[in-house]
């Protein structure tokens, strides 16, 4: 539980805005509207009962723009400053705090009193202004994920060669964790723990020397293994997955060059669309570093549930956006069609797919799972790398005229084919974020544990954290933990048990 005063900063988090920075841009309004205050709250209202064995915190981060953007109408969701939120649970009680991640770019803008950086994902339309000596060339916002590594809480972007170390209780930014300066690549915000070894598997991309590298990091932060191979393209890769023997990448048709002189620095998007490009699949052997490449039709894997080997096949379960016309001339502002904004898109909505890679025949097949839209997919991580039964995700099911985003959490059973939905309210559509599975101590079944998620309630313009029994997925939550302010719809996070911290 956080110590100190009930609230560390004056005033309440801004719950409503009479003057949003943009009345056109959905990413600056409603459930996306940034918070400005950083608070610590000792005790939250709880409906139900928080299981006593839960001792730790659910950490979540997302986009939370601090300065009025230079061009608010062009602001992109992915460009907001990172703000980490923590729901601390102990002895059946809940506390909360939130903090900006004090990145170099945010500190420079605070000192200047104005935004001085272009966005990476969107575009400002103006050339990057001259920066102080030693300043980062682009602004990385550390707003994608929160993990535990080497007994510490870390948060990160995906265009840096380091992670940010946070205080587990106060969320104060303590410094950079750079693996001893060993890696000269952009490190992923989606590392995965290999349950077979306990190591954290991390990849990095270097677009100057055109290689991808994969590292297995031990629980003291040491590099236990390291392989790398060259890349023929400059892909946008946001996640990867692994099996017993392979690191698995899908390089779709979207390209990404955040540090190139003609992109962000020139006021252009770091993204581009490679018209007519297939999807290139990289299987990088975890021990030998031997690379095998295959091709598939045009789609983008957004997030992975899991992958495993089955004879000569590799099975990959992921959320995918399909390129509806690979030969179209697609603009960067049309990318990433999360079901959150009402705009036509050259891509399908995010869907759950099973992809099968036949190593003997060197073929790739795919099929959609279910009729729902799905994103932010997570498994019971203790089964990663080997066959799983269940997947959990945020999704859209039975949308109505008022549906503008995810309206439920979804549990899919790959063995029985059964899909369950949790809408939380029968009266109004509430919007959930990523569900995180927390196994029950001593549990044997794959779904013996809890699902934690943060939901936005439009009636209150406020958020709450729910704890669901995963085996009673569509039943009443065991606990609803209420905030009186909004956690802006964000990205990723994890449950980190207190005992795992040093
Ligand atoms: Fe992600």
| 190 in a labelled binding site | yes
Q: Which residues pair with 149 in a beta bridge?
A: 152
Is 274 within the bounds of a domain?
Answer: yes
Is 70 within the bounds of a domain?
Answer: yes
Q: What angle do CA 44, 486, 16 make, to 5 degrees?
A: 125
Q: How far is CA 129 from the centre of its chain?
A: 30
Please check whether residue 252 is in contact with residue 218, taking contact to mean a CB–CB distance below 8 angstroms. Answer: no
Is 372 within the bounds of a domain?
Answer: yes
| Residue ranges making up the domain that contains 349 | 26-500
Domain count of the fold of the chain: 1
Percent of the chain with pLDDT over 70: 95
Q: What is the chain's mean pLDDT, rounded?
A: 91
Taking the centre of ligand 1 as the mean of its atom positions, its distance from the CA of residue 492, in whole angstroms, is 6
Is 206 within the bounds of a domain?
Answer: yes
Taking the centre of ligand 1 as the mean of its atom positions, its distance from the CA of residue 37, in whole angstroms, is 25
CA atoms of 416 and 5, how far apart (whole Å)? 50
What is the tens place of the pLDDT at every residue in 60-113? 999 999 998 888 888 888 899 999 999 999 999 999 999 999 999 999 999 988
CATH of the domain at 377: 2.130.10
- Please state whether beta strands 163-166 and 152-156 pair in parallel, antiparallel, or not at all (unpaired): antiparallel
pLDDT at 344: 72
Is 430 within the bounds of a domain?
Answer: yes
SS3 at position 30 = helix
- Token pair of 502, please? 């040093």
How is the beta sheet containing 246-251 ordered, strand by strand?
A: 241-242, 246-251, 279-285, 291-296
DSSP symbol at 39: -
CA atoms of 336 and 343, how far apart (whole Å)? 11
Is 362 within the bounds of a domain?
Answer: yes
Taking the centre of ligand 1 as the mean of its atom positions, its distance from the CA of residue 493, in whole angstroms, is 10
Asked whether the predicted pLDDT for residue 151 surpasses 50, the reply is yes
The DSSP line for 216-232 is: EE-TTS-EEEEEEEE-S
Taking the centre of ligand 1 as the mean of its atom positions, its distance from the CA of residue 279, in whole angstroms, is 19
pLDDT at 340: 53
Taking the centre of ligand 1 as the mean of its atom positions, its distance from the CA of residue 209, in whole angstroms, is 25
| 85 in a labelled binding site | no
Taking the centre of ligand 1 as the mean of its atom positions, its distance from the CA of residue 82, in whole angstroms, is 14
- Please state whether beta strands 479-482 and 462-469 pair in parallel, antiparallel, or not at all (unpaired): antiparallel
CA atoms of 55 and 159, how far apart (whole Å)? 32
DSSP symbol at 9: S
Taking the centre of ligand 1 as the mean of its atom positions, its distance from the CA of residue 201, in whole angstroms, is 15
pTM: 0.94
Taking the centre of ligand 1 as the mean of its atom positions, its distance from the CA of residue 418, in whole angstroms, is 26
CA distances from 302 to 299, 377, 460 (A): 9, 9, 31
| 238 in a labelled binding site | yes
pLDDT at 401: 78
Asked whether the predicted pLDDT for residue 7 surpasses 50, the reply is no
Phi, psi of 463 (to 5 degrees): -120, 165
- Can you count the helices (H) and strands (E) in the chain? 1, 33
Q: Tokens 């303590």 — which residue?
A: 174
Is 195 within the bounds of a domain?
Answer: yes
Q: Which of 144, 71, 64 is nearest to 114 (CA)?
A: 71
Asked whether the predicted pLDDT for residue 168 surpasses 90, the reply is yes
CA atoms of 100 and 173, how far apart (whole Å)? 8
Is 17 within the bounds of a domain?
Answer: no
Q: Which residues pair with 87 in a beta bridge?
A: 58, 96
pLDDT at 336: 66
What is the tens place of the pLDDT at every residue in 356-383? 999 999 999 999 999 999 999 999 999 9
């Amino acid at each position: 539980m956080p110590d100190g005063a009930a609230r560390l900063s004056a005033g309440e988090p801004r719950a409503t805005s009479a003057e949003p920075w943009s009345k056109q841009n959905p990413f600056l309004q409603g459930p996306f509207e940034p918070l400005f205050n950083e608070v610590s709250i000792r005790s939250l209202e709880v409906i139900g009962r928080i299981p006593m064995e839960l001792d730790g915190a659910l950490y979540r981060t997302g986009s939370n723009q601090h300065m009025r953007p230079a061009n608010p109408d062009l602001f992109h969701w992915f460009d907001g400053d990172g703000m980490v939120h923590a729901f601390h649970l102990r002895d059946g009680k809940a506390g909360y705090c939130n903090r900006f991640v004090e990145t170099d770019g945010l500190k420079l803008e605070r000192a200047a009193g104005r935004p001085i950086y272009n966005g990476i994902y969107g575009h400002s339309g103006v050339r990057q202004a001259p920066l102080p000596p030693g300043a980062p060339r682009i602004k990385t916002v550390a707003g994608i994920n929160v993990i535990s590594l080497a007994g510490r809480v870390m948060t990160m972007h995906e265009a840096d060669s380091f992670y940010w170390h946070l205080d587990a209780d106060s969320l104060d930014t303590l410094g950079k964790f750079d693996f001893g300066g060993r890696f000269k690549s952009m490190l992923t915000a989606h590392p995965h723990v290999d349950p077979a070894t306990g190591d954290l598997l991390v990849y990095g991309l270097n677009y100057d020397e055109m290689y991808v590298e994969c590292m297995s990091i031990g629980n003291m932060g040491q590099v236990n293994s390291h392989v790398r191979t060259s890349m023929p393209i400059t892909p946008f890769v946001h996640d990867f997955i692994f099996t017993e023997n392979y690191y698995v990448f899908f390089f779709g048709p979207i390209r990404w060059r955040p540090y190139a002189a003609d992109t962000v620095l020139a006021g252009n998007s770091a993204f581009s669309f490679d018209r007519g490009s297939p999807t290139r699949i990289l299987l990088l052997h975890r021990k030998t570093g031997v690379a095998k490449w295959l091709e598939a039709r045009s789609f983008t894997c957004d997030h992975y549930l899991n992958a495993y080997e089955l004879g000569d096949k590799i099975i990959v379960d992921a959320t995918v956006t399909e390129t509806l016309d690979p030969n179209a001339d697609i603009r960067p502002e049309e990318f990433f069609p999360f079901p959150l904004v009402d705009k036509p898109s050259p891509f399908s909505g995010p869907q759950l797919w099973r992809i099968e890679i036949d190593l003997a025949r060197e073929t790739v097949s795919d099929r959609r799972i279910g009729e729902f839209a799905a994103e932010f997919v997570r498994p019971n991580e203790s089964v990663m790398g080997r066959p799983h039964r269940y997947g959990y995700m945020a999704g859209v099911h039975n949308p109505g005229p008022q549906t503008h985003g995810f309206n439920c959490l979804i549990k899919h059973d790959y063995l029985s084919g059964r899909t369950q939905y949790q809408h939380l309210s029968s009266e109004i559509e509430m919007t959930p974020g990523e569900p995180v599975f927390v196994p029950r101590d001593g549990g044997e079944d794959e779904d013996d544990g809890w699902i934690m998620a943060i939901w936005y309630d439009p009636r209150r313009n406020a958020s709450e954290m729910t704890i669901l029994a995963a085996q009673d997925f569509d039943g009443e939550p065991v606990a609803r933990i209420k905030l009186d302010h909004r956690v802006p719809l964000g990205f990723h996070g994890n449950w980190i048990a207190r005992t795992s911290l040093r």
